[in-house]
Structure 1
Amino acid sequence: MKPTRKSPARKKTPVKSGAPERPKRVRRNPERLIAAILNAAIEEFSNHGFSGARIDRISKRANTVDRMLYYYFGNKERLYEAVLEEVYRNLIEEQRQFVPPEGDPVNGMDELITHMWEHYMNHPEFIRLVMSENLLYGRYIRQSEHIKQVSFPLVRIIDEILKSGKKKNIFRPDADTNFILMTIMSMGFFYVSNQYTYTYWLSKELTPNLRSDAWLGHMKTVIFDHLMVR
C-alpha cells in the first residue's frame, strides 16, 4: 500500500484590518539635526532678538518638534547661548584662515580691512545678534565658557602688522592695536547695522547694496591717514 502524499500547507494571507499602516520612523542624524536647529535659531534670534524669539518658529524652520530643541539644548537661554557660540566660532574660523602677505605691512593692513568688511557684509545676522546681546548688557556672552576660552586671531595679526610697519618706519610709532581694530570694526559694523536709519536722513544711495565699495575705500583712507608716517 502506497503512502498517502500530503499536499503542501498554504501560507495564510494576513487579514488587513482596514486601518492605515503607521509609517516607519526614520532615524535622523543627530549632528545634522543640531546643525539645522542652530541655523534656524540664528535666523530667529537675529530677526527677533532674545525676547521676541519663539521656540515653535525655530522648530518649524528646522523641520523638527519643540521637544527636540529642549532635548539637545535644555531651554531657550541655553539655545541662545549656543547661537552666540556658533556665530563667534564662524568669525574666529574665518580670522584663522586669513594670512597677511609677509614683509608688506601696508598691503597686509589693506587686505585685513577688506577681510573684516566682507565678513560684516556677508553675515548681517552676526551684527544683529551682537546688537541684541549688547541690549542684554553682554549677559550670555559672559556666561559662555566656550567663548571665554578663545581669543580673536585678528588682535595678534594686527599687532604683528603694526610692529612690522613701525620697524620699517612706515607706520607711526604710537599706533595702537586695540584702537585700530575698534576703528575698523566700528566703521564696518555701523554701515551695516544702521543702514535703515541713516538712509532715512542721508542719501539712499549709501545703502550697502549700492555704495559698499565706496565705503570700504573710505574706511581704508581713514585708517591709513592715521597710520602712515608723514
Structure 2
Amino acid sequence: MDRPYVHINVAATADGKIDTFERKGAAISSARDKERVDRLRAEADAVMVGGRTLRDEDPKLTVKSKILRAERVARGLMENPAKVGIASRLDLKPDSNFLTAGPARIFLFTTSQTDESQRSMLRSLNAEVYAFGAERVDLIAALRVLKDNGINRLMVEGGAALNFELMRLGLVDELTIYVAPMIFGGEKAPTTAAGPGLVRSEAVSLKLARVESWDDGGVVLQYKIERLK
C-alpha cells in the first residue's frame, strides 16, 4: 500500500455534532476519552488536521502524558508524532501552537493559493511544505509523501471536510467515534463528515469492530471501513 494506514478519530455528541454552531472547538471528550486520544497519538507516526481546524483551533497535536512520551523515546522515536496540516491556503503565524509545540516533525500540504512568502516563512521554521493542486490539496499525493517519509500509521483529527474527503476517496481504514452524552443541535454545527455529501449508492460502508460503554455516559464505537457501495 503506497499510503499510511489511516485512522480517523472523532468526538461527537449524540446528535453527531463535533462542535457547536460557533465553531470554537467546544469540549466534547470526557477526561477518560482525552486519555484514550492521547494514547492514540502516542501510537501514531503522524497526526493530521484540516485547514479550518488549523485556523480556528490552532492545535498543538502533542502527546500530553510524560509516560507516553517516554515510551516513544524508548522506542527510538521523537517525543511526539509528526504533525500534518492540510489547507488550500495556509496562513499560519510563526508563533502558532501548531508550529511551536513539540518537538515534532511538521508537514504542510497546500495548493498554489498559498503565498510564496508564507511558504518560505514556514520552511524557515523547519516545516516541510508541499504544494499539490490549484484549488484543493491532492490528498492521494499527500499520503504518498507521508508514506515515503516513514509515516505508516496516520491519525486524523478532523475536521469534518477533511474526514469526508478522505472517506470519499477511499483513503480511510478505520473510524473511531466517542459519542458523548449531550446534544448540540444547530443546522450550522459541523458533523463527523461534511463536504457535498454522497448519494445512497455511494455511501461509505462501515463494519462495527468494537463497542465500549463507559461510566461517564459516553460510548466508543470502532469501525473498519469496508468499501464504497
Point out the structure with the larger strand share.
Answer: 2
TM bin, normalised by shorter chain, reads: under 0.3
Higher helix content, 1 or 2: 1
Larger radius of gyration: 1
Q: Which protein has greater RCO, CA pairs closer than 8 Å, 6+ apart?
A: 2
